[in-house]
Structure 1
């Protein structure tokens, strides 16, 4: 019905149609209308003006990337249409693509219009694996070729990537391949996701000198080593480093390298129990660079979620990690913690200066 309605309207006087109100529920009709106008060869400057007026009456907001991408496709990606969309209907400077339906259309518009932006923020919530978003992987692979001459090492787009699914769940396919697509057009400034094992000398973050916030899940010793190598080069720019170490206590804690930071290191270790407490101490000491004669900034915040820790194990950790954990210990446990237990732990806080938070 919407298609047929648009076909009918295409043969009417567009000036009169553009004077009509109440177009809010007819976005798809407008998209089909530009398609019919284009197919019949009527897409002159004058007719385009009236169709864009319809879009304004339909309250198509600036930044409706999915609408404008469909509009441009129906217009056969005409250069003049892309120029109008970029100039009048897309945000200037900063693009935030935070809904699944807008991510790929937003990237397609970046490719197909002369839009000039400074910052690109892509955010995928924890319910969705970004590799499962239709065409996202394919479009991101094309960006280095499609943006050549517009964005590069000399004039990059400052890019934030937030892949919450990769950060909150253990995934077979980490964020690595998506990160690689940023070269050379995008300079990574903030990352939420996961990192895997890369070939020595080709660590993904080696040259991310503008990186400020890094929140990643690491599922192997090799992944921690790769991150450590990169941090030796880029740590000065990083303000906050949050790592989730999602591997079992079978990994030798003394093989773990230090994670060089400016003092804002947060470590999360999920799924541990009392038998792992000595291992946890060794892990935090090593990644916080508190071993031998080599001392680092330590770990500002240690998070032990989804654990089976008793109160006695928590008190053991507080004692052993004094001056290693510098601010806070957060514990989520399925063991019964009584009021007396909480009071006994609270008594240690003043002596150790570690604030304990029961999640």
Structure 2
């Protein structure tokens, strides 16, 4: 006697079990219609609500779970403008060219400050004994600095006025990069403010920056009013909404990335013209969007997506928290240097519950490491406390 085969919905062909010769002839097509309807309903449901759990994905998909967008045909690439074609060709060649290795690689420390640097004595102690492994550049936008460290003497570059929130901030960054790139030994370019301090010894920071092949640029997608809400369609076609990003301005760039920033005029010109406070009723801050968006377009896989400079935004104000004398303790520094996960909170003024918290581990050559090498904003009065603590700085 033959046994009936097991029937499982959605797997293999359906076998109709043998039955009585007197069965009504309409039942066979009714079963087929019922099966077709069941499969159609199932596929429609799966299309609207794609499976997310790993076990469900394994049953219904040979690969990873795919969103609806993955099922649809790819969107045809738009036609690039002449300027885009030229710009992308230059940038591609720079990125694909083998990096020029220096026998004496250095880190360029670029200080963006209104005037004198209140923590020069701390940086002097940080640099001591490491001559030949670093360069210093100072962009003072308001008054000529008075230097107390030999490492900063005659290191001022030609500076111009900087206005917070305007493209002049990006201009100052590019001016620092242009001066630092003249030294072929400079391989990493770190942007620092007058309120920045180092969190580790020179050797640890040097190795952290020099022995990785990425740039540390803060970059994340913020769909809120202070993120994509600042985007202007006047940036089209070169800068699209899908590529618009946000991030802190404090970066560390490898040499190839520093060169392409200086080579770029196309994307920079869009931000110079259409990203400024008050334009079209928006409050676009150029230094928070230009570099993150630029690298999202030209080399998204070449950046870390977080900054190596720590800042505390927990007070949710226009400016980050300032550290005062009573705040500067070994416990504070221990807390900052123990952070190994990058956290970003999107903006939404009206509905706080809709804010998104984005987290990802700080990976250095594939290994999770502390995120931050520097920290800001320290007030000038904290210098003595930091000098005392610096003697106890160590590598993790």
Same fold by TM-score, threshold 0.5 exceeded?
no
Shorter chain as denominator, the TM-score bin is: under 0.3
Higher strand proportion (structure 1 or 2): 1
Tell me the TM-score normalised to structure 2 length.
0.21
Which structure is larger by alpha-carbon Rg, 1 or 2?
Answer: 2
What is the TM-score normalised by the length of structure 1? 0.23
- Which protein, 1 or 2, shows the higher relative CO under an 8 Å CA cutoff with sep ≥ 6? 2
